[in-house]
Amino acid sequence: MNVSGAVAADRPHQRRRVRLGRLEPLVWIAPAACVVLFVFGYSMVELVRTALVYQGRWAGLANFRLTLSDSEFRTAVEHNARLLIAVPLLVASALVLAILLFEALRGWRFHRAAIFLPYVLPIPVIGVIFGQLLELNGLLNSALRSLGLGFLAVDWLGQPRWALWTMTGVIIWKELGFGVVLLLARLLSLPMETFEAARIDGARFFRLHRYVTVPQLGGVIAFYVVVEAITMVSWVFNYVYVMTNGQGGPGDATVVSELYIYQTAFQYQAPEVAASAAALLFGATLLLIILFFRVQRRTGVGIDD
Amino acid sequence: MTRALGRVVKHALLVAATAASLAPVYVMVSAALKTQPTFLAHPWGLPLHPTLNGFRSALADQFPRWFANSVILTSASVVATLTLAALAGWGFTRWDFRGRDTLLGVLVSLMVVPPVVLLVPLFVFGVKLGWISTFRLVILIYVGLMLPFSIYMLANFFRTIPRSLIEAAVCDGASSWSVFRRIVLPLSAAPLVTLAIVNLLWVWNELLIALVFLQDDSKKTLMVGITGFQSRYSLNVPVIMSGLTLATLPVVTLYVFGQRYFVRGLVSGAVKGE
């Protein structure tokens, strides 16, 4: 395939190294650059073009107007916004678990491996398992009933009122491990003296972590917040698709922007609308990442320190 | 007294988190070993009379084909990604050229582009060339999506290779290619393994692109296949769970044996060293 092609293509150039001069780095980068340019560059240009054209004719912003006035699109965006509630919950729980693992001497490796496991499991697998667990007569409700908590048993994924919150819970279950591992790695890389000094001064659990640990983790927490915010806005398709059979149901209770793009493009055959929705989604993620760099520059905490 | 109580609470929290993380996996594996009636009667119970019938039915279905498709796609795209990323990463590290930092910055920002954004144009492209339901287009897209992170990570590692080492070799008359082959690559085994594991897991678990670009039944990947499994075997949960268990097995194996590398890879974006 193109692997051997790329390697072989480089060989003859090396002997003519002197003549290549300033162009040499280009030769090394070119194969990867071609693929990236095709997948991202070509697609982005085509995307914008599709969004601005209707039936071969220049349409200006008409497609965008159409997309923005579609109530289904607005519902989808609102659902993405509601999913953002998962971010503070994730940060808080990841922080608590990372600190507990950091302090626990016995068996922390086992706990860490277990807590991280959901993050490596495929989302389709998780979606199908949780689909079974969360049915009206599924495993979760039967467990609740046998514990005498039957009043808590609801149709988790079947009721429009609960479906999106249930989805949020599943996403938190899966994404939590990433934060725990991230924060724990940072904690383990801090010099031990920081904690020792505070301990000798008599700082107890809450004071110690509130004033010593959390400030040290600032950069990593910011990184985790951005990654998860981007996830909630633009990477939740798999959960919704698998747990609702590709419908975003019940009704439109769990439609998110990615599913909207997928459906308008491939089920309703309206690529112009799908493209303008995709361009808007891209704009939203871009905004998030710019915001992140701004905050980083102002506070002076890099993700690297 | 409060100290002891605090310790109990902390430990209880950890145990609860571990139990919550493992419960769905336990349900999957235990249900796979039950019969449908036993599963309905005791969904949480241990499989006291384990049976492999679920696995047998799953394997009798198109399962092996999907599995093979996933293996082909995953290995081809990861090998291609590592090769291209290593070359480009070295190109970015070894030579200082104008616009290098800008290019790297653009690359970093590409990491956050959601794949769904690229879907429509790439699909139109695929239809024009008649490449829908072919592996080559999907491999190309996967490689493209994995390259930004892979190049960024390798370039960061290559920067830690002492310059004196490279210069000594150049003085001895080594060509750029042999410097890369004989010095850079052998020193980079660990980051390459890390990158391979992170990328393997990503491709294996990918759903959206596989769903859109591989519509032909004979080309479906495991993740697309098991998504459809759900409705087909809704009256035989053990078959579904057997399929899920088999689909998860490679991932968990990779995780158990490569945990160190994997954790290092995820953390490398955010924390220096471990």
Q: Which residue of B lies nearest to A12 if distances are taken between CA atoms?
A: B177
Whole-angstrom distance, CA of residue B68 vs CA of residue B215? 16
Amino acid identity, position A106: R
Mean pLDDT, residues B176-204 taken together: 92
Cα A129 to the chain's mean position, in Å?
20
Task: Please identify which residue in the block is written with the tokens 């747990």.
Answer: A243
Q: Looking at the predicted structure, is the pLDDT value of residue B120 above 90?
A: yes
Kindly report the CATH number that applies to the domain delimited by A70-299.
Answer: 1.10.3720.10
What residues does each domain of chain A span? Answer: 2-60, 70-299
CB proximity A181 to B under 8 Å: yes
The third-level CATH classification (topology) of the domain covering B22-268 is: MetI-like fold (1.10.3720)
Q: Which residues of B touch A29 (CB under 8 A)?
A: 87-88, 91-92
Q: Which residue of B lies nearest to A225 if distances are taken between CA atoms?
A: B270
What percent of chain B clears pLDDT 70, i.e. is strictly above it? 97
Amino acid identity, position B167: E
- For chain B, list the strands marked E by DSSP: none
Q: How confident is the model at residue B72 (pLDDT cuts 50, 70, 90)?
A: very high
Two structure tokens written together for A305: 């320190």
Query: Nearest 5 degrees, angle CA A113-CA B258-CA A223?
Result: 65
Contact check, Cβ <8 Å, B120/A220: no
Position B268 scores a pLDDT of 66
* Span B37-50, pLDDT tens digits: 999 988 899 999 99
Buried/exposed B255-270: b ≥16 CB within 10 Å, e otherwise: beebbebbbbbbbbbb
Amino acid identity, position A224: Y
What percent of chain B clears pLDDT 90, i.e. is strictly above it? 67
Q: Which residues of B touch A117 (CB under 8 A)?
A: 21-22, 25, 252, 255
Q: Which residues of B touch A139 (CB under 8 A)?
A: 27, 43-44
Phi-psi region of A121 (alpha: psi -120 to 50; beta: other; left: phi over 0): beta
Contact check, Cβ <8 Å, B83/A6: yes
List Cα–Cα distances, B122 to A49, A51, A89, A149, B145, in angstroms: 13, 14, 36, 50, 13
Mean pLDDT, residues B224-246 taken together: 89
Q: How confident is the model at residue B232 (pLDDT cuts 50, 70, 90)?
A: confident
Residue B270's nearest CA partner among B164, B153, B183 is B153
Task: Please identify which residue in the block is written with the tokens 């491990």.
Answer: A177
Contact check, Cβ <8 Å, A31/B177: no
- Tally of CB atoms within 10 A around B85: 26
Position A104 scores a pLDDT of 79
CB proximity A275 to B under 8 Å: yes
Backbone angles phi, psi at A53, to 5 degrees: -125, 140
CA distance B54 to chain A (A): 15
Position A34 scores a pLDDT of 96
Residue B140 CB contacts under 8 Å (≥ 6 apart), including other chains: A35, A38, A39
* Span B94-105, pLDDT tens digits: 998 888 989 998
What is the maximum span of chain A, computed from C-alpha positions, in angstroms? 81
Position A194 scores a pLDDT of 76
Position A298 scores a pLDDT of 67
What residues does each domain of chain B span? Answer: 22-268
Interface of A with B in 91-110 (CB under 8 A): 96-97, 100-101, 103-104, 110
Position A211 scores a pLDDT of 84
CA distance A194 to chain B (A): 17
Q: Which residues of chain A have pLDDT under 70?
A: 1-20, 105, 202-203, 298-305
Q: How confident is the model at residue B271 (pLDDT cuts 50, 70, 90)?
A: very low
Q: Looking at the predicted structure, is the pLDDT value of residue B207 above 70?
A: yes
Position A5 scores a pLDDT of 41
Whole-angstrom distance, CA of residue B36 vs CA of residue B90? 55
